[in-house]
Structure 1
């Protein structure tokens, strides 16, 4: 019985840490290919720290959502059991105190790994690591960045920062292609998140969480999403046209662009934001695979 309870508790902590959502962690293999396969040990340690930092951030987000009632509104009793199980505070498997202790432990351990690695890196890398760490743990806690109109900036900025830090820890140097790929990576979580925010707008508005979906009119929110999607495509085209990447860079990203267009049609054109949100995950993963392929084929040389 004790073993079963322990396993159940461990499973609840894994769901609190959202270990099944690994899209931010794709920054590590992308950075590895950008630096030519060097620094494997460094990037693995950076990955351990990243998992811990992200776990702290999402756990604190769950605590805040549980306390202010937004999670109860967005994950109500009519939600599918599998979806509701992603919120172990709502299901009563964990308490707020347990979640806070878990988040604090993860933040301290992950932050220590990051900053120790950063001591041997250029100053800009250390500073960026510190910014990513402090902003992530205050996403819904402390400064409550996501509640004060900064959610969209954080979603893109954190992903971009992970790629830049990964490269900085190994080489300390940034190239135009590294920056372009980092921004494309950062746009992935953002173009998933804006559809989630659209679906959760009513619950977020009720607790004062100021996302674009809450602050803008429905038409304004659709225009915002459309603009972000077009900006991503434009970045791919300009990177190829200006010689930032190889001449075939845009061709390599065509599958990712196609999924993004399908997502835009589904979410903005047809209004099916839940399906569009799923397509956002696919678009991000296809983008990362395409960028890794570009780098392995010599595009980052």
Structure 2
């Protein structure tokens, strides 16, 4: 949900989208919604793999579908509001100005002229309402409705769109917590609706899943220090020294590794759990070396995205193996 942000004095003039084809407008809205950003949606694959015997009966399938649609709508609302904010404060105009390659500019429909600002705001509001309705449907179809899961889902529906709109949480020092908390909120309440309980393993896997987007987001923030300072977005990379930021990112990596390793001796996960997740730990070390030692933060961000997806594969594998040996 982050965007490079360096304030510039001018905006790229947006053309009128009225004459564009339906297909072109649809593609513009998909870009506005960041439809290719699937990393948070993988949470439900992890949740499903945690379920006893991984059922896909009517109530479970309906609930998973409603949860997924709700996630997609709420994330679409958050990133659309984020694009509107970047357009209004001039930061996106600087980073995606008239000299930017056409493919890069197309990622920002407001700047490319394929959507008006009013289109984006209406889309975000509509997506927010649709997301809330989808999650309300999920609660109705869920096999279980523990109060903590329902309240957690409701809180997430309220907070997620506030990333850079409304409360503007990312502008108030909460960006890093936000990036992780969205992942946590996508796993634990969903698991509660499908099982009616909470387990130590579900908490551990939710925690690890939430760290994934954070551990590629911090590299984006490191790249965007100048721009974030210009629009007063106080990320950790902005408020810490270069060395302090390196220590912060390293501490997050060590925290992830510590949780993976400690889960087995604490009796939360099987003894082989750290072995299944070893490729994630190795990839994370490579990511840190590339980004914080060699200084190639954008490549490290890409490595982080791959590490997160590898984490999902590893967690699902561990859960399926655990179910098979139970």
Give the structure-1-normalised TM-score: 0.95
Mapped partners of 2:272, 2:95: distance in 1: 43
Match for residue 253 of structure 1 among 274, 277, 301: 277
Mapped partners of 1:50, 1:227: distance in 2: 29
CA contact (8 A) 1:45 1:113 kept: yes
CA contact (8 A) 1:60 1:100 kept: yes
Query: Is the aligned partner of 1:210 residue 2:234?
Result: yes
Aligned residues between the structures? 300
For residues 49-82 of structure 1, give each alpha carbon's deviation from its aligned partner in whole angstroms, at most 9, with x where no partner exists. Answer: 1111111111001101111122233434454443
For residues 172-200 of structure 1, give each alpha carbon's deviation from its aligned partner in whole angstroms, at most 9, with x where no partner exists. Answer: 21100000000000000000110111111
Mapped partners of 1:293, 1:238: distance in 2: 19
> Any stretches of 5+ residues in structure 1 without a counterpart?
none
Query: Is the aligned partner of 1:160 residue 2:176?
Result: no
Larger radius of gyration: 2
Mapped partners of 1:45, 1:129: distance in 2: 12
Mapped partners of 1:191, 1:278: distance in 2: 11
Q: Which moved more, 1:117-126 or 1:157-166?
A: 117-126
Match for residue 186 of structure 1 among 210, 216, 224: 210
4+ residue runs over 4 A deviation: 76-80
Mapped partners of 1:76, 1:173: distance in 2: 50
| Cross-structure match for 1:278 | 302
Mapped partners of 1:183, 1:70: distance in 2: 32
| Cross-structure match for 1:40 | 61
| Cross-structure match for 2:170 | 146
Mapped partners of 2:101, 2:36: distance in 1: 17
Match for residue 30 of structure 1 among 38, 46, 49: 46
CA contact (8 A) 1:74 1:203 kept: no
Mapped partners of 1:157, 1:112: distance in 2: 21
Query: Is the aligned partner of 1:101 residue 2:125?
Result: no
How far 1:165 moved relative to its partner? 1.7
CA contact (8 A) 1:73 1:203 kept: no
CA contact (8 A) 2:64 2:138 kept: no
CA contact (8 A) 2:187 2:206 kept: yes
Mapped partners of 1:99, 1:53: distance in 2: 14
Query: Is the aligned partner of 1:124 residue 2:148?
Result: yes
C-alpha change, 1:222 and 1:43, in structure 2 (3 Å) is same
Mapped partners of 1:233, 1:211: distance in 2: 23
Query: Is the aligned partner of 1:52 residue 2:76?
Result: no
Q: CA RMSD in A?
A: 1.7
CA contact (8 A) 2:62 2:138 kept: no
CA contact (8 A) 1:256 1:286 kept: yes
| Cross-structure match for 2:247 | 223
> Any stretches of 5+ residues in structure 2 without a counterpart?
1-17
CA contact (8 A) 1:25 1:50 kept: yes
CA contact (8 A) 2:66 2:137 kept: no
How far 1:102 moved relative to its partner? 0.3
Query: Is the aligned partner of 1:19 residue 2:35?
Result: yes
CA contact (8 A) 1:32 1:40 kept: no
Mapped partners of 2:114, 2:232: distance in 1: 27
